[in-house]
Amino acid sequence: MSVFVFQALRIRPGWLPILLAVLSFSASAENLPEEPASPTWRIYFAYARGQVSEELISGADWQPVRSTVLPTFTEKTLWIKMQFRNPGKENLVLEYTDPRVDVLHCYLRKEGRFIYQGSAGETLKGRYLSLRPGLLLDTSDQESGELFVAVYNPFNANTGLALFEKTDYMNHSRVRSLLQSSFLGLILVTIVFYSLSLASRNRPMVAGYVLYLTGLAMYLAYRTGLYQMLPVKGAVTASLPAPFFALMYSGGLHFFRHFLELPLRSALGGFVCFLQWAMLLLFPLYLFSPEWTFAAGMYLSYIVPPIILLISVYFAFQNLAARVFALLWSLPIVFAVLETLSRSGLIQAFFPEDFLIQSGLLFQILGFSAFLGLKIRKEERERVEQEARLLIVQNDLTRARELLTANLPNSLELPGFRIYAHYSPSSEMGGDYYDLVIRSDGSAGILVADVSGHGLPAALEASTVHVAHRSTRNLSGTAGQALREMARYLDPMQSYRFLSAIYAVIDPRNGRLEISRAGHPPALILRANGSVDTVGPLAPLLGLIPEHPYGEELDTLMIGDRLLLYTDGVYEIADEEQNRPPELSQVVQKYSGLKGEPFVSAICSEYERLRPPQNQDDVTFLEIERLR
């Protein structure tokens, strides 16, 4: 007994019926009749003039078709000959696989006669009857035969023809329609989604991606026949999607440049930007010749994608973004090559027409969308984190501003005097400082200081000036001695190196005045009679020269006189040669009839109109008038 028989005897009884059923099915399957093979065909083309006839057919120079796109001639018609086999003797359906067609006339040759089968380019009220023209042929009595097709197309002559049995054609059409509508629906949803993202925040890369998808949707709608189902009539509207090649590749180049973050000022970034704008020349070209526009768009399809791919491959060795772009961008190109090889018969076609290139585009769109989604999510997370940090900083700045503003006196009061103070920082916090203290001898010490710079650093240095000034309030020396004491106090902190200051000591009993300044504009005295005097000896910035003996100048304020202390932000402008400002003393005399806020505002306005808004400086202005 053989080993096989021995093993078979050991099989449990419950498995025996199953084994017998499998063996009987296998035996019966071998005796099943073979299904008839699908129809097959061979295609030839020729250019000829005239109507179909034996003379035209026999005299034409028939050549085998090796490309689905052939050049057109205005004076001759493109004729296509299909030698077919119909093993099942069915009525076959001739499908024109490229819907970009005006008129397609089909003739079936039977017993030396040419029987007209119809025109696949006919329309009903301007609407195409199907995505792809399909003609039902009277071939039920022919196992083999010949078809002759006259193709009329204003742009390019396409030789994509296929024969199907009626059931296969219907199934084929349903699958294709489902694939194409789903694919275009995905593109439209993606366009809407990223358009909304673009509306919420300006993102150049997303803008390029939306333009690329918009052009791609128009091109695919035209290529698959969806556009022809719209009520488009006439050569102009029928070819309207032609210039959208330009939008597709212009948006693609824009998207590519920002995806790889190519600097616009670099040679490569400038070249890509130039190509991006050059693509848009197809739109004005369309006004002159839709045919040339379509032809140029087709040639761009063979030039632009490989250029982008080569550049991305070059950068793929340097960064991850380029590797991702090169991989996703290559998918439609590879799938298009496979589709071309399957159309030419060099490889076997396993998928429906256009399935390969649409699959490549589908994977590309999904990949780019996922990458953009991750990038947008990262940007949003960073934005939220930045806003949180900014809120913390703003809270800190608000607290710092409150503390620093508290250093400025709420009101300046001196018996027998009216004092008006104007303080206007150029930002939230300024580097100017002013103060008034009543000294131990009953006199008033008034300080106006200007720290170089703006914002928080200048404000922090101004706070040290506040402390230094308050440390001198119990002294009764001269104004110059007060500045020397402040410089000595500030020396360890070195904040005085960029500090100008002016110090005034006023005796309210008799109006006696002392003025000392350190690198600061001089004080002005507006006399009751309208004249203006300049007071204060020139000296270096506070603390610039250690132990510098700051001097003072003496004067007297009479009843009605006004002492003006200010910082250089009042009168300085950026370009004094172009807009030469008037002297401050002249402006003071001009508005001497005003007092308080109107007086100071009028003076500041004279210089603000000459100063650009971005060049504003901190402004401090004190008006001190003796009343009695």
pLDDT digits over 278-309, tens only? 888 888 888 887 777 877 887 888 888 888 99
Residue 395 to residue 398: CA distance in whole angstroms? 5
What is the share, in percent, of the chain residues with pLDDT greater than 90? Answer: 13
Mean pLDDT computed over 248-257: 90
Containing 443, the helix (H) or strand (E) segment is: none
pLDDT at 129 over 50: no
| Selection from 292, 24, 39 nearest residue 144 by Cα | 39
pLDDT at 108 over 80: yes
Give the model's pLDDT for residue 377. Answer: 86
Query: Does the global pTM surpass 0.75?
Result: no
CB atoms within 10 A of CB 465: 27
Q: What one-character-per-residue DSSP string does 288-307 give? A: H-HHHHHHHHHHHHHHHHHH
Q: What is the dihedral of CA 584, 590, 594, 597, to 10 degrees?
A: -30
pLDDT in tens, 39-59: 888 889 888 888 888 888 888
Residue 534 to residue 526: CA distance in whole angstroms? 9
Mean pLDDT computed over 132-158: 78
Residue-averaged pLDDT of the chain:
79
pLDDT at 156 over 60: no
Indicate the pLDDT class of residue 623, thresholds 50, 70 and 90.
Answer: very high
Residue 31 to residue 48: CA distance in whole angstroms? 51
Token digits for 539? 């000296």
Q: Across 289-303, 529-543, 608-622, which has the greatest mean pLDDT?
A: 529-543
pLDDT in tens, 224-245: 667 766 666 555 566 677 788 8
Q: Among 70-79, 249-258, 487-496, where is mean pLDDT lowest?
A: 487-496
pLDDT at 20 over 50: no
Indicate the pLDDT class of residue 349, thresholds 50, 70 and 90.
Answer: low
pLDDT at 431 over 60: yes
What is the share, in percent, of the chain residues with pLDDT greater than 70? Answer: 78
Amino acid at 74: T
| Selection from 275, 282, 309 nearest residue 298 by Cα | 282
pLDDT at 558 over 70: yes
Token digits for 329? 């961008």
Mean pLDDT computed over 316-332: 88
SS3 257: helix
Residue 545 to residue 538: CA distance in whole angstroms? 14
CB atoms within 10 A of CB 530: 10
User: 605 or 291: which carries more pLDDT confidence?
Assistant: 605
Q: What are phi and psi of 55, to 5 degrees?
A: -65, -45
Mean pLDDT computed over 552-576: 86
Give the model's pLDDT for residue 159. Answer: 64
pLDDT at 19 over 50: no
Q: Across 63-77, 261-275, 329-343, 568-582, which has the greatest mean pLDDT?
A: 261-275
Indicate the pLDDT class of residue 195, thresholds 50, 70 and 90.
Answer: confident
Q: What are phi and psi of 563, to 5 degrees?
A: -90, 130
Give the model's pLDDT for residue 128. Answer: 39
Burial classification of residue 166, based on how many CB atoms lie within 10 Å of its CB (0-12 exposed, 13-18 middle, 19 or more buried):
middle
Cα within 13 Å of Cα(517), Cβ side: 21
Is the torsion defined by CA of 384, 385, 388, 391 positive or negative?
negative
The alpha helices in 345-354, defined as continuous H runs, are none
CB atoms within 10 A of CB 392: 10
Q: Which residue has the tokens 């496979």?
A: 338
Asked if residues 259 and 174 have their Cβ atoms less than 8 Å apart, the reply is no
Give the model's pLDDT for residue 9. Answer: 30
Mean pLDDT computed over 99-104: 61
Q: Which residue has the tokens 């029987």?
A: 115
Asked if residues 292 and 235 have their Cβ atoms less than 8 Å apart, the reply is no
Q: Which residue has the tokens 């792809």?
A: 132
As beta bridge partners, residue 506 has: 444, 513
Give the model's pLDDT for residue 73. Answer: 65
Mean pLDDT computed over 402-425: 82
